[in-house]
Structure formats: C-alpha cells, structure tokens
Amino acid sequence: MKTRAFVAVILSAGLALPAFAQQANPSPSPEPASADQAAPLSPPASRDFWDGDEPSLGALLFHPFARKQYVRRHVQPIQDRVNELDELTASHRKMIRNVDARAQQGIQLASARADLAGEHALEAANQSQIASQTAATIDARLSKDETLVGNLNQFKPGSQTEIRFHPGQTVLSKQAKDALDEMATPLKHQRGYIIEVQGFSSGQGQAAIANSKKMADAVERYLVLNHEIPAYRIYVIGMGNAPVAQHTGGTRLEISVLKNDLEQTAKQ
C-alpha cells in the first residue's frame, strides 16, 4: 500500500514539473506585426529529446534512455571509421608479410650464393694446391731431364780395339771378328754408349778414303747382324791416309767405345 502511494507521488511530480517549468518561464506577449514585417514562420517540427542540447526535467524523467536510432546515428560513423582502420591495418599487415617473405627469400638466396662461392673458393684453393704440386713435380722432372740431356753429349772414352788389314783388304778376318766379339759382348744390355769406327787406308786421295770407308762399313755390318747393336749407335768415318800422331800408319781400323753417365743418372 505504501509502495503504491510512493509511485503515485512520483508520477504526480513528474506531471507537475513540466507545467511548473512552463509557468516559470512565460513566453513574451507577441507584438503586433507591422506591415513591412514578414509573416511568422511555422513552428519547427518536433524533435526527439535526445536531439536537443538542453533537455528539461520532464524529458529526463520520461526519456531516461536514448533510442536505438539515436545510438545508431551517432555510433555508425565511429564504426565506419573503425572498419576503415581495420582494413588499413589488414592491408599494412599483408604488406609487411610480403616484405618479410621477400626479405627472407633474399636472405636465403644470398646465403645459398655465399655457400656456393665458398665451395668454389675451396675448390679453387684445392686446384691451386694441386697445380703447385704438379708444377713442383714438373720442375723436378725438368731438372732431371736437363741433367740427362746435358749428359748425352758428354761421352767418356771406354774400351778401344785396333784391327789391322793387309793393303787393299776390306774383308774381316777371323782374328778381327774375335776382337769385335770380345768388345761387343759386354754392350748387349747397356745403354748410353756409342761405337766410333775410324778406317785408315794407305794410298792417295779418294781411293784411300773409299777403301777405309769399306773396312769401317764391314765392322758396322758385323756388329748389327751378329750382336744386334742398333745402327744409330755406330758412327763410321773413312779417314783415308790421314796421319795420326799416336800411330805409325798403315791399313787399319780403330774402334772406340764411348760412354756417358746416362745409365747411372737414370738409375738415380
């Protein structure tokens, strides 16, 4: 019962306050309109309380909450701006992801190229080392070959044999063949030697030279056929009747074995 009375008092106060507000602020009496004054304007259309700036006490009592349209009308621009910011944020996020992906791809590509360059550098270093070792080996071989070539023409006198002939004779006797066998047998498995055969013959001019050459050719032919000595190791010279200080002269063959250090150097 008390509750109903309290509610009735509140409602009565709410109804009485608007009337009191209108009495407290009476509107000024209208002045008569002059002839040159414009016609009065029509009263503005009624607006909702929440569209005003200075609400009355009665409006506050009867309209304590804003309407959905009002809230929507004021919230919608904010929501549109928020949506726009969300779109910009999403776009920027996408751009950042793309830039980061390209950066990562570039880093991976640069790392791969750096690894490849490192492998090439290591391979080049290995090849350089191999080339240096090969060059050192070649230098050693060249030095050895130069020594061998230098020793090719440095022949030293070895065994010597002299074969006597009768004047006009060019055929080897048995004694001459025995002397050649004794000289050639030790040369069978040797290298670095040459055989020099000089023929001397009595007589004059070209006849003596031709006769001495025939005797030397007979020695060469015997050594090649019977002892398999290569012909390039035998040097035949027809001296004719050229005088030789250490000999008294006559028809003869002087056979000398000349050796160098090629075989000994090759064994080192």
User: Quick check: 90 pLDDT over 80?
Assistant: yes
pLDDT tens, position by position, 134-179: 888 887 877 776 666 655 566 778 788 888 888 777 888 899 899 9
Contact criterion met (CB below 8 Å) for 21 and 57: yes
Q: Is 172 helix (H, G, I), strand (E, B) or coil?
A: coil
Taking residues 2-14, report their average pLDDT.
Answer: 55
**In whole angstroms, what is the distance from residue 30 CA to residue 168 CA?**
182
In this prediction the pTM is: 0.43
**In whole angstroms, what is the distance from residue 168 CA to residue 178 CA?**
21
Closest CA to 151 of 258, 37, 72, 19: 258
Residue 66 CB neighbours (<10 A):
14
What mean pLDDT is reported for the chain? 75
User: Quick check: 21 pLDDT over 90?
Assistant: no
CA atoms within a 13 Å half-sphere pointing along the CA-CB vector of 29: 2
Contact criterion met (CB below 8 Å) for 174 and 222: no
